[in-house]
Amino acid sequence: MSLAYGRPYLAIPGPSTMPDRVLAAMHRPAPNIYAGEIVDMLAGIKPDLRRVARTTQNVAIYIANGHGTWEAANANLFSRGDRALVLATGRFGLGWAESARAMGVDVEVIDFGLSHPADPARLEAALRADTDRRIRAVLVSHVDTATSIRNDIPALRAAMDAAGHPALLAVDAIASLGCDVMEMDLWGVDVLVSASQKGLMVPPGLGFLWISDRALAACHGSDLRTPYWDWERRVGAAEFWQNFCGTAPTHHLFGLRESLTMILDEEGIEAVWARHARLSAAVWAAFETWGIAGAGAGCDIALNVADRRYRAASVTAARIGGGGAERLRAWCEAEAGVTLGIGLGMAEPRSPAFGDFLRVAHMGHVSAHMTLGVLSVMEAGLQALGITHGAGGLAAAAAEIARGGQVGGQAGGQAGGGQAAE
């Protein structure tokens, strides 16, 4: 007997839980790709993609995954031998650096480790040190999916401005767009990279680049570009097929259309951000309560990022020592229908320490029911497995949700406060 029967729940950080409506929109015969519905639809998708990234500038759509979209960004940003400065806060930041290096870019990495955000002061110093202005672009993850660190993009931009360096700012928002606040134009982002399968709630297979006018002009002659990656051909497409350098990703576009409508026109992007903020706060509350007992009682549960200002709203990486993370993941999947994410890049894949890390996703089409359900299952697992944890984690998480129910979604003073009689 297992309590996993019923609808399985996937809490890995992408692909995320997708709305039924998105899947339904993709369940239809192929359209004509020379005229008609899908051609008309694209005319609405492109402005909506700008809205979701809060930019009035340029957007290009790629049939590719996130790695492909990194490569698209690199191919346009750089010519062979150009220098990139990468601010790494986890495996995916390092991955982007590797991609650029393999393409012939001269890559310099500042590695901030696995639990701390990129330090604007170090960025500023590095740019000041680049006296001959060889650094063409600074690459940074908004949220690194592996560590769940959220970098402070406005602060990094300010550091670049303070250094007076002309480098472009390229931001990987694959794990954050549609979850964490993103203000591309306001923050001065030059190139934004994202993909379909996380906050945008569409199956994997589409990548996106948003490109500032400044970046478009600056990169005009980059010699790494190939026809498929060249963003100018896509941004300036005269014919429908040129938007995709070939056959359009018809079914993904149907899904994306539905998803953008849900995000922008039904819920509203600011409400989407607020929802993710509140759900992530519930997750943190549970972990903080579970972990509170401290080393004294033998409890070894902790969030990866200590400072809540640098925690992602979309995914939470955490440690449950002694292999507890791995055992808990196995229990939740087998006994309760919840699949949690593995820890990535925190320890060697086949080392014992690998089993000390896990990730909980709260990205995309997620409600209070879904996220509280995940936490409840985890607490049941902690109990079942005899993993030492502080009591009251679920009540603390529910309290965060209760607060979210107040007018305007803002926590009121004495708000909530169902009196828990002892």
How far, in whole angstroms, is CA 73 from its chain's centroid? 17
DSSP string, 105-160: -EEEEEE--SSSPPPHHHHHHHHHH-TT--EEEEEEESB-TTT-BB--HHHHHHHH
> Min. distance of Cβ 131 from its own copies in angstroms?
31
Closer by beta carbon to its own copies, 48 or else 388: 388
CB of 122 to its own copies, least distance (A): 27
In angstroms, what CA-CA distances link 399 with 240, 298, 315, 379, 407? 50, 26, 20, 16, 15
Task: State which residue, 123 or 375, has the beta carbon closest to its own copies.
Answer: 375
Phi–psi pair at 321, nearest 5 degrees: -70, 175
Q: Is 387 among the residues that bind its own copies (CB under 8 A)?
A: yes
Site residues (CB under 8 A) for its own copies, limited to 350-379: 364-370, 372-377, 379
Q: Measured between alpha carbons, how far is residue 217 from residues 211, 212, 232 in Å? A: 10, 9, 10
The site map against its own copies for 223-262 (x = CB under 8 A) is ---xxx---------------xxxxxxxxx----------
Residues 92-111, one symbol each (x = binds its own copies by CB under 8 A, - = not), give ------xx--xx--------
- Pick between residue 160 and residue 173 the one whose CB is nearest to its own copies: 173
Instruction: Establish if 319 lies at the interface with its own copies (CB under 8 A).
Output: no
Q: For residue 115, which of 362, 276, 317, 313 has the smallest C-alpha distance?
A: 317
Which one-letter DSSP state was computed for residue 311? Answer: B
Using CB under 8 A as the criterion, what x/- string covers residues 395-414 for binding its own copies?
A: x-xxx-xxxxxx-xx-----
Distances (CA, A) of 215 to 190, 195, 238, 264: 6, 20, 21, 26
Contact code string over 181-200 relative to its own copies, x by CB under 8 A? --------------x-x---
Query: From the CB of 399, what's the least distance to its own copies, in Å?
Result: 6
Count of positions on this chain that bind its own copies (CB under 8 A) = 126
Q: Which amino acid is at 118?
A: A
Applying CB under 8 A, which of residues 199, 205, 321, 355 lies at the interface with its own copies? 205
**Does 308 appear as a known binding residue?**
no
In the bound complex, what is the minimum distance in angstroms from residue 166's beta carbon to its own copies?
26
Q: Is 419 in the site for its own copies (CB under 8 A)?
A: yes
Q: Is 245 left (phi over 0), alpha (psi -120 to 50) or beta?
A: left
Nearer to its own copies, 150 or 234 (CB): 234
Other beta carbons less than 10 A from residue 35's beta carbon: 10
> C-beta of 417: minimal distance to its own copies in Å?
6
Determine which residue in the list 293, 302, 347, 353 makes contact with its own copies, applying CB under 8 A. Answer: 293
Whole-angstrom CA distances from 335 to 8, 316, 318 are: 11, 22, 21
Site for its own copies, residues 136 to 165, rule: CB under 8 A: none
Cα–Cα distance between 406 and 402 in angstroms, integer? 7
Residue 221 interacts with its own copies (CB under 8 A): yes or no: no
**Looking at 44, 47, 113, 298, which residue binds its own copies (CB under 8 A)?**
298
Nearer to its own copies, 117 or 364 (CB): 364
Cα–Cα distance for residue pair 379/226, rounded to 1 Å: 51
- Is 285 a binding residue for its own copies by CB under 8 A? The answer is no
**Contact (CB, 8 A) for 358 and 170:** no
Extract long-range pairs of 37-44: CB within 8 Å, 24+ residues apart.
38/240, 38/248, 38/250, 38/253, 38/254, 39/240, 41/253, 41/254, 41/257, 42/240, 42/243, 42/248, 42/253, 44/257
Window of 48-56, 60-68, 128-136, 350-358 that interacts with its own copies by CB under 8 A: 60-68
Q: Does 34 bind its own copies (CB under 8 A)?
A: yes
Residue 113 in the binding site for its own copies (CB under 8 A): no
Tell which residue, 82, 174, 161, 153, has the closest CA to residue 127. Answer: 161
Q: Which of residues 2-31 bind its own copies (CB under 8 A)?
A: 2-10, 12, 14-20, 23-24, 26-31
From 52, 61, 68, 150, residue interacting with its own copies (rule: CB under 8 A): 68
Taking CB under 8 A as the rule, which mask of x and - marks residues 70-89 in contact with its own copies?
-x---x--------------
User: What is the rounded end-to-end Cα distance, in angstroms, of the chain?
Assistant: 34
If one asks whether residue 56 binds its own copies (CB under 8 A), the answer comes out as no
Would you count residue 267 as binding its own copies (CB under 8 A)?
yes
